[in-house]
Amino acid sequence: MTKRILILVALIAAAIFFTDTGKHFTYSLLTGMVSNQAVPTIAPEELQDLEQPYVLLDIRTPEEYQISHLQGAQFVNYNTAKMGDLADIPKYARVVLYCAVGARSGNVGVKLQELGYTDVQHLQGGLFNWMNKGLPVYDAKGQTDHVHPYSSFWGFWLTEGEKVYEP
C-alpha cells in the first residue's frame, strides 16, 4: 500500500512539474534560490516599459552576449570583470543588471551596492524569463530568437526561442 501511495505521489508531482504552470512555478523557485535576495528585482514587463535614463548591463560571457542580448545593453564579462571597469557609471545612476537566470547579475548587484551604488536592480528570472514571456532579444544583425542556454540544466527552463551554444 505504501509503495502505491509513493508511486501515486511521484506521478502527480511529475504531472505538475511538466505542465506549463508547474514548470513556471519550479523555475520561479529555482531562480529565487540562486538569485541574491539583497538586490531588488525588476519584472521583464516593467523593464520593457522603463523609461530612460538607466544603465542596462549584461553580466554574462562573450558567447552568450554575441548570440543575443537586450537592446541597449552594455556587455560586462562576468568571468573577467573588475568593479573598476564600471567606474564611469555614476553611483546615483539607476543600474539594471541581467544574466541568464539571475545568479550572476545578483552577485554583481551586491558588489555594486557595497561600492555605494544606490539604485541597483536585476532582471527577475534573467534573460530566460524575458524570452519565455515572448519579449525581444537582439544580436549584431537585429532581432533574433536565438538564446544561449548557459548549460543543459538551465537550458531546460528556456521554453521560447532557439537554444544556440556557438555564435
Q: Please give the model's pTM, rounded to 2 decimal places.
A: 0.81
pLDDT bracket for residue 150 (50, 70, 90):
very high
Alpha helices in the chain (DSSP H): 2-17, 20-34, 44-49, 62-67, 103-114, 126-132, 152-155
Q: Which three cell numbers stand for residue 2?
A: 505504501
Number of separate domains in the chain: 1
Q: What is the CATH number of the domain that holds 55?
A: 3.40.250.10
pLDDT bracket for residue 24 (50, 70, 90):
low
pLDDT bracket for residue 11 (50, 70, 90):
very low
Which domain, by its residues, includes 46?
36-163
Specify if 11 maps to a domain: no
Mean pLDDT confidence for 74-102: 92
Specify if 145 maps to a domain: yes
